[in-house]
Structure 1
Amino acid sequence: MNPAQQGLSHFRRAILDAITAVKAHQPQSYLHLVYAPELADPLELLGESKREVALIKPAIPDVVGWSEDACGRLITLDCRRVAAYFLETDAGMDDPLMESSISQSYAESLLGQRVNILQTNDDPGQAERAVCGWIVSPETAAQISVRLSASSIGMGIHRRRSGVRWYNPDYLEVLWPTLTATQKQGLLGQGVWIAHDGNGRLKTYASEHEAAWNTLPPSAVRLDTTQWLQLENVPLVQQLLQQWKSLCHETARPLQPDAQEQLHQWVYRAREMGLDGEDIAVYAITAMQMPSRFAEDAELIAAVKNAVQQGDKLSQSLPALLDRYREKRALKQPEN
């Protein structure tokens, strides 16, 4: 087995093991593929009629950018509906779409074969990955789509009507840690969502309080201002993450496992200081290369804010600011 085949084999095994573990506790559950053909339909599932399909779409007419064909969707895997002779152990896992979705996810998650929105000029924020994971749940695709669609309605930080693309793993990964137990329950119910994060690591998302499953009614997730800010930072952070990965590769330095979290922190701080546009990217990428106490240095923060007030471009003024910062740090170092 060559390295590429071995990599896919390990990738496949991890997914199947995760699904099997959930099914051991929920043997009667359905297995749903979360699929987002917003920018591409690599598995040619648009118009799928043999399997149960439910769209994820806000139930309001004035949210733009949610065309029917491009909508995220839940597709129930069941080989009995498409190829009954494949059935050996589990109708969902024996569906041939399970294997093709794993291969496509491997290409998107680890080989980087996603839609490049910088080249295609597509809208940042749409799912660059078509395979957005798998959900194991006692609820049908239609029932889960009602949960996700209801929770897709919201008002962004700029007070415009907006929608949350929960099916996009880039958003799910960022928002999930900020959700309350009630919000997680409203979003997934008893379901378990298995998906890969931005670094290709397999993650499992599930409501934390099983005792509440039968007592809490489904409720739409409403985001607060901080959560909306994180949401709106995701497209920029994803672009910066790719730049940082390339820079790490060029300089032979290891990529920090929490690189995405760090970039979210730096982008948030940049906006707090009044930076915008290209200056945010300059600040964030620079901060990734600085000591961990970079953001807490009061003098440097004051200098950056002053540069913003003066109308200076950070790309031009930052080198001089950093030189002064390093000189002051060197003077503060105790002598040997």
Structure 2
Amino acid sequence: MTSGQSVAAHLSAPARLLPADPLVFREMVIDVVRAVQAQRPDGFLHLLYSPELADPLDLRDDIRREVGLLRREWASTYPQPDIDFARFLTLDCRRVAAYMCETDSALDDPLFEASITQAHAEAHLGVQAEPELGNDTPNFSPYAVCGWVATTQSAAELARRLQRCNRLGRLHHYHWLRWHNPVYHAALWPVLTSEQRRILLGDALWIAPGPLGRLHLYQADPQPADAAPLPLSFSLDKAQLERHRDAPAAVALARSWQAAEGDCPLPADALKRVLRHLDDARRLKLRGEDRQLYAGAMLRMAPGAERAAEWTSLLDRTVRGENKLRDGIAVLPERFWSGGTLDDAPFDTAPRNPPHD
């Protein structure tokens, strides 16, 4: 298989499960990185890194590599040290340890191996930033290693590109779009238009460990030859912005589902399914916990049960404010469910068996 066929296969296939075995994990990442590098032979390989307060790879003060910081545009109004910002770091062994260069200056950079080890720890060993542990800047990213990017754009150029697209609204009424955070990116990418993807990434191929233990590969379609020049930034429509807001809750629900499944992997479209049910809950005018309970219940519900009179009546009463969805779900007959009973935890309605569409 040629390098072009290899990367095409990665792009067309569902996101691949990240192996628990660290050696197999490493081989998978290197295989995909080599494939995308071959598509940008004259480009750079950048590590997308979010140091948080823990900074597990000790890169806050790295001055040896080219760095592109993903600053907030309003950082002067809401001061924040540069050391906390996510960043692209250009992997280049010649600048940090020239004596280690053998065949590939990017892959021979010792940071590349260190980043794979950290990504494995975050994917399989529970080593993630958490505000409760005091090692995380709230709302940034639970991951330090957010991926590897092959592109002809420098670290600074790529950072400016994403930075132009990371804010919606005006001062004091804004939404910060966390493109570097795999939780948000995995939720938003499927609903972006081709033009939005081109504006966001340009020619970059982004390899990202996803929030549900899969390796994603993001690439925009090429710009048509007769197309008008692209704008520098874009806005999200209402549905896309709601998807951004729903991303953390959707990932939490999917992880609850995964915990119930044990060693059985979730389907590749698990996050898409959860987000679809959250969208449906919004259209039904359910709010707060009721939205999350609805999505979890729909994942766990037996085929056809969503059309049963007991369920539709329960939803109607909930929308009218006559009851809480949790109370109604607790008394639904066992035949409604694919297996098991509901607990009292906030995200307890994940299915014990794969959901039915």
TM-score range, shorter chain: 0.7 to 0.9
**Relative to 1, partners in 2 of residues 1:324 and 1:180: Cα closer, same or farther, differing over 3 Å?**
same
Relative to structure 1, the CA distance from residue 301 to residue 272 in structure 2 (aligned partners, 3 Å threshold; closer, same or farther) is farther
1:162 is matched with 175
The 1-side partners of 2:135 and 2:104 are apart by: 41
SS at match of 2:60: coil
Which letter maps to 2:98? A
Cα distance between partner residues in 2 of 1:219 and 1:202: 28
Correspondence for 2:207: 194
SS in 1 for 2:285: coil
Residue identity opposite 2:266 in structure 1: L
Per the alignment, residue 333 of structure 1 pairs with: none
Change (3 A) 1:297 1:180: farther
Count of aligned residue pairs for this structure pair: 318
Q: 1:259 to 1:126 in 2, by over 3 A?
A: same
Matches within 5 A, 1:265-284: 265-284=276-295
Structure 2 counterpart of 1:82: 96
The letter of the residue matching 2:211 is: G
Of the candidates 167, 172, 177, which is equivalent to residue 153 of structure 1? 167
- Taking a change above 3 Å as real, the CA distance of residues 224 and 255 of structure 1, as seen in their structure-2 partners, is same
| Amino acid in the other structure paired with 2:258 | K
What are the superposed Cα offsets for residues 56-109 of structure 1, whole Å, 9 maximum, x if unpaired?
123234885965322111011111111001111111111000000000001112
Q: 1:227 to 1:319 in 2, by over 3 A?
A: same
| Alpha-carbon distance in 2 for matches of 1:215, 1:11 | 42
Provide Cα deviations, 1:189-213, integer angstroms capped at 9, x if missing partner. Answer: 1111011222222121111125559
**Matching residue within 35, 59, 72 for 1:58:** 72
1:315 equivalent in alignment to 2:326: yes
> How far apart are the structure 2 equivalents of 1:105 and 1:141?
20
* Structure 2 match to 1:229: 242
Distance 1:280 1:39, change over 3 A: farther
Q: One-letter code of the match for 2:279?
A: Y
> Which position in structure 2 is the counterpart of 1:330?
none
Map of 1:1-336 to 2, 5 A cutoff? 7-61=21-75, 67-117=81-131, 125-155=139-169, 160-209=173-222, 211=224, 216-217=229-230, 219-249=232-262, 255-295=266-306, 300-320=311-331, 322-323=332-333, 326=336
Partners of 2:101 and 2:108 within 8 A in 1: yes
Aligned 8 A contact 1:57 1:152 in 2 = no
Task: Give, as a single letter, the amino acid of the residue that structure 2 aligns with 1:75.
Answer: L
% identical aligned pairs: 34
Q: What are structure 2's unaligned runs of at least 5 residues?
A: 1-18, 338-357
CA contact (8 A) 1:50 1:82 kept: yes
In the aligned structure 2, how far is the partner of 1:65 from the partner of 1:298?
54
The amino acid of 1:77's aligned partner reads L
* Bigger shift: residues 293-302 or 72-81: 293-302
Q: Aligned partners of 1:66, 1:292: CA distance in 2, in Å?
A: 50
CA RMSD for the aligned pairs? Answer: 3.0
Residue ranges of structure 1 left out of the alignment (5+ in a row): 328-336
Partner of 1:129: helix, strand, or coil? coil
Q: Supply the AA of the counterpart residue of 1:110.
A: H
Measure, in 1, the Cα distance between the counterparts of 2:265 and 2:93. 42
Runs (4+) off by over 3 Å: 60-67, 116-125, 210-218, 252-257, 292-299, 324-327
Q: Which amino acid in structure 1 is aligned with residue 60 of structure 2?
A: L
Q: Is the 8 A contact 1:117 1:123 kept in 2?
A: yes
Q: CA 1:143–1:326 in structure 2 vs 1: closer, same or farther (change >3 Å)?
A: closer
Q: Is the 8 A contact 1:190 1:213 kept in 2?
A: no
Task: Name the SS of the counterpart of 1:11 in structure 2.
Answer: helix
- Give the structure-1-normalised TM-score: 0.84
Conserved 8 A contact 1:189-1:218? no
Q: Tell me if structure 2 keeps the 8 A contact 1:39–1:127.
A: no
The structure in which a higher percent of residues are helix is 1
**How many angstroms apart in 1 are the aligned matches of 2:313 and 2:136?**
37
Partners of 1:182 and 1:81 in 2: how far apart?
36
